[in-house]
Amino acid sequence: MITFQQAGRKWSRAAVLVTALGASLYQTADLGIAPYDYLSLGLRNYTPCPYFGCRIFTDALSAL
């Protein structure tokens, strides 16, 4: 009989594999930049702030 912990470990392993596969497909698709990602790049081009600060700002804004 499979215990709850064993089933949880199997689901965790499957989740890690699916997440890794999804991330690798997203990164290798070479589809260009998403509008959300461009917002921080655009802010960097039009403000004196460095990219790191612009990215932190857009991520925090999205989290709110």
pLDDT tens digits for range 16-41 = 999 999 888 877 877 667 777 888 88
Cα separation of 56 and 60, whole Å?
6
**Average pLDDT for the chain:** 85
**Exposure string for 42-54, b = 16+ CB within 10 A, e = fewer:** ebbeeeeeeeeeb
pTM above 0.75, yes or no: no
